[in-house]
Amino acid sequence: MSSLVYPRFVLFVGIMLSLAGLVLSYLYTVFFSISLLGGFIFGVGLTMLDSAKNSLAYQKYKKEREEREKRNG
């Protein structure tokens, strides 16, 4: 499960950037771009998390299939 730590960190950074950008955009509209950047980083983090989970699920499936083949002969 350690391969899911990095994508979760990217998700956290994306959420914090977008929240900070939204709060600061009330003061200056220039900071809205920070919020957009945070949303983009959040999307990248979601994609990374999804691919990491798919990779883990495939590794588990492959391991179970190999064990089943060994048992069946």
pLDDT digit string, tens, across residues 32-73: 777 777 778 788 877 887 887 888 888 888 898 988 888 886
Residue 19 CB partners (closer than 8 Å, separation 6+): 35, 38
pLDDT at 40: 80
Residue 22 is predicted with a pLDDT of 78
- The span from the CA of 11 to the CA of 37, in Å, is 12
Position 5 pLDDT exceeds 60: yes
Cα radius of gyration rounded to whole Å, the chain: 19
pLDDT band at 3 (very low <50, low <70, confident <90, very high): low
pTM of the model: 0.58
Report whether 42 contacts 12 (CB < 8 A). Answer: no
Answer yes or no: is pLDDT of 6 > 60: yes
Domain boundaries, the chain: 2-72
